[in-house]
Amino acid sequence: MIIRAACILFLSISCAGMLYAVCYSSRIARSNGYAAFLFLFMTIFMYTVGYIFELASSTPETIYLSLKIEYLGAPLIAVFWFLFAVYYNNYSIKSKAVMALLFVVPLTTIAMLYTNEYHHFHYRTFDVDASGLFPVAVTQKGWWYYVDFVYKMLVAFAGLALFAFSYGKATGYRRRQAKTIFIGALSLWIGNFLQMLGFAPYGIDIEPFILSAALPLSGFAMSRLRMFDLVPIARDKVFKTMSASVLVLDGKLRVVDFNDSAVSILPALSEDAVGLTVMDVFPEQSSLDVAALVQNEEMEIALPVAGGLRFYKVSCARVGESEKDSGLIVSLYDMTESKELLEKMQRIASQDALTQVFSRWFFMEAFQREIDRCKEIGGKLGFMLLDIDHFKRVNDEHGHMAGDKVLRGVTAALKDTLGHKALLGRYGGEEFSVLLPGMGQDEAVALAERLRQVAAMIEVSFNGTAINVTISVGVAAAVFEPGVPQGMESTQICDALILAADTALYRAKQEGRNRVCSVGLDYGADESV
């Protein structure tokens, strides 16, 4: 969960940086090269946004929808990279037919992905693996996937070759430009190959992260190296109008300059603010860590504004080569929307969209936390797996909309019966999981029997037809002594309880369904599992 949240946060911040780069660059674009560069950033942004949603998704439907968002940008990245390389090196594509041909394959790829369910040319199969830290897409590639991959590699290599050529003949800062861009692009396409070869830690697509990591090189090439030989904008105009809030401090942490954006979030700043210390400028409730600031450490602070709090990332850069003229440039970047988006994504990811109970990955996180608690202090822990009997028959005879209504009806009945002490999650399809802290085997079996009886009384009406269902329940319960078992990971105990409940559920189905079966586990002082 932590890895997932960290990935979402990192990519969200990267997206914010890309949006800023696009907006800033669009104001000064005067060439085809800059236009290609802007479109390149926009396609990377769309790809990254789609992958953020993929990380936050937990169902096959939402993950596939995320892929569709990603593919609005991913197939076009190589083409815009090549066009950028062409125009940067003072070449041009005058033929409209040639320009159109460049987009045939990527646009076809987008169409193939969006219509894949009808032909399976791009993905032969699509599934979701939920056995890891979080659900990830698992696919078998179709023949068009490889056509697109080869095309992207050829186009990308052509762009790299142009920059390698320009590096060989360039001098001065132009040579440094080509070198910087070549290194950034080379790392990107190496990452693409690694992804193609299956290098995906925890099932994570590394391409968006490599793309985000290349942003500093792009920014360096655009700004410090004057990538398009544009006349520099006057310092005052850039500094005063930039969206980031910036303060310039001297060696004694006194304010010597600031921009208009900083004034809008720090009311203490005014014409008379020059000479004030940084602590005079920031309100006490912001929790600004001055010691960390001096050490050039990044931090997050909250600033009160009209209507509530806004959250900012504070970064610091030291300027000056001697103690006499040294100082700090403090930049504040508004992260409120990114933070709210992350929290919203986490809420969405924690809840099953159809039944409104906890998603599988959130349930498993809570499951392992409860096992950790039981290992430390001892106690009882019950666990159930519930399956709606003959659910496929409901879908086949009445349709999937009826099946969805049955799922919602069963879920509502389960929640009403369980109350607030139990944790209810959707394990997959028509299968649900229940965590019962402090409940032993006998209590868990009795509760499962009540759930079975309640489910048997459910009558779902659909299109004038009454649909009745039953459930089968597998119960597993464990008793823990404090500090036992030694050397056994929580995931292992979790797997053991799931296996036990699944075995009991299978037995319940074998014995005729609409019944409860159970298995007990004892993690006592003399037990080793």
The candidate with the shortest Cα–Cα distance to 385, out of 522, 519, 512, is 519
- Mean pLDDT over the full length of the chain: 77
Q: pLDDT > 90: what percent of the chain?
A: 12
Mind giving me the DSSP string for 91-107?
A: -----HHHHHHHTHHHH
**39-48, 161-170, 397-406: range with highest mean pLDDT:** 397-406
| pLDDT over 80 (residue 326) | no
Give the closest residue to 353 by CA, choosing from 1, 134, 132, 56. 56
Which superfamily, per CATH, for 351-523?
Reverse transcriptase/Diguanylate cyclase domain (3.30.70.270)
**Nearest residue to 13 via CA among 186, 216, 251:** 216
Which residues make up the CATH 3.30.450.20 domain(s) of the chain? 235-339
Residues 6 or more apart from 116 whose CB is under 8 A from it? 122, 123, 126, 142
Q: Does the pLDDT at position 475 exceed 80? A: yes
Among 91-100, 210-219, 516-525, whose mean pLDDT is lowest?
210-219
Q: Which part of the chain is CATH 3.30.70.270?
A: 351-523
pLDDT band with cut points at 50, 70 and 90 for residue 229? very low
pLDDT at 246 over 60: yes
> Is the whole model's pTM more than 0.75, yes or no?
no
Between 218 and 401, residue with greater pLDDT: 401
The reported pLDDT for the residue numbered 109 is: 93
- Report residue 33 as tokens: 């090269």
Number of H helices, E strands in the chain: 21, 14
Ranges in the chain annotated CATH 1.20.1070.10: 2-223
Express each pLDDT in 335-388 by its tens digit.
Answer: 877 766 666 666 666 677 788 788 888 888 888 888 888 888 888 899 999 999
Q: How confident is the model at residue 106 (pLDDT cuts 50, 70, 90)?
A: very high
Q: 235-339 has which CATH code?
A: 3.30.450.20
Q: pLDDT value at position 171? A: 43
33 pLDDT band (50/70/90 cuts)? low
Amino acid 236: pLDDT:
46
Nearest to 515 by CA among 527, 528, 506: 506
CATH node for 2-223? 1.20.1070.10
Q: SS3 of 374, please? A: helix
The half-sphere exposure of 191 on its side-chain side, counting CA atoms within 13 A, is: 18
Token pair in block for residue 269 = 């700043």
pLDDT value of residue 472: 92
The maximal CA–CA distance of the chain, rounded, in angstroms, is: 86
Quick: pLDDT tens for 479-491. 888 876 766 788 8
- Residue 63: pLDDT above 90? no
- Taking alpha carbons only, the member of 13, 1, 2 closest to residue 208 is 13
**Nearest one of 170, 171, 169, 163 to 188, comparing CA atoms:** 163
Average pLDDT of the segment spanning 402-425 = 86
CA distance 279 to 302: 15
